[in-house]
Amino acid sequence: MYGNRWNLVYVLLLAVTGVDAFFAGGPKKAVNANAKQTSEAIEIFQKTFGGKRRATPIDENVLKTNFNYLTKTVGGDSALKIVETVPKVLEFNGKNFDDVYAAYVANLGEEDTLAMVMRNPALLSVPVTGYGGADGAGKDAFYLR
Write the pLDDT tens digit of every residue in 9-39: 343 333 333 333 333 344 444 445 688 999 9
Judge whether 58 lies within some domain: yes
Judge whether 6 lies within some domain: no
Contact by Cβ (8 Å): 30, 76: yes
d(CA 89, CA 79): 10
Reduced to 3 states (helix: H, G, I; strand: E, B; else coil), residue 30 is coil
The predicted structure's pLDDT at residue 28: 45
Reduced to 3 states (helix: H, G, I; strand: E, B; else coil), residue 34 is coil
Judge whether 130 lies within some domain: yes
Contact by Cβ (8 Å): 73, 98: yes
Q: Between 6 and 87, whose confidence is greater?
A: 87
Domain limits at 60? 20-143
Judge whether 13 lies within some domain: no
Judge whether 122 lies within some domain: yes
pTM of the model: 0.72
The predicted structure's pLDDT at residue 115: 92
Judge whether 83 lies within some domain: yes
Please tell me the total count of domains within the chain.
1
